Amino acid sequence: MIQLELNQNGTYGMKNKNGNVITGIKGEGEGFSPTELVCASLSLCMGLTLDFLIKRDQLPIHDFKVKVDAEKAEDSPSRMKRFDIEVSIAGDIDEKTEKKLITSAKRGCTIGNTIMHGAEMDVHVVNI
């Protein structure tokens, strides 16, 4: 669970169950925008999945990077239109293994699957 609180300086503090806090913002400034947080979640999920697969299959990859960019839809409702994921791999693997790795990572990434297939969302009001 993530809990969001409005800070006195106008930023938003988001805390996870372990007490780790990140700052969210509206517009420009220090912290992450909602779109950046979704991109961060997608890149982390893809990265963790890649790391698992590389270790499981003992692939000769010594480094990788995942870069995610998003494009917002111009029409209503307000939403992201597409996500572009760029995976940079440093290692000695052939094209066939690389394609299999990326296909498996896409299949195993929970956040990517949620974006691709959607999820139900319920909003409940609780009095403070």
Neighbouring residues of 117: CB distance < 8 A, sequence distance ≥ 6: none
pLDDT of residue 31: 84
Q: Per residue in 30-86, pLDDT tens?
A: 789 899 999 999 999 999 999 999 999 999 999 999 999 999 999 999 999 999 999
Task: Check whether 4 has a pLDDT greater than 80.
Answer: yes
- Establish if 109 belongs to a structural domain: yes
User: pTM of the entire structure?
Assistant: 0.89
Range of 2's domain? 1-32
**Does the CA dihedral 48-107-41-27 come out positive or negative?**
positive
* 42 in the same domain as 93: yes
What residues does 91 pair with on adjacent strands?
61
pLDDT of residue 7: 87
124 SS3 class: coil
* 106 in the same domain as 50: yes
pLDDT of residue 26: 76
Domain count, the chain: 2
* 53 in the same domain as 91: yes
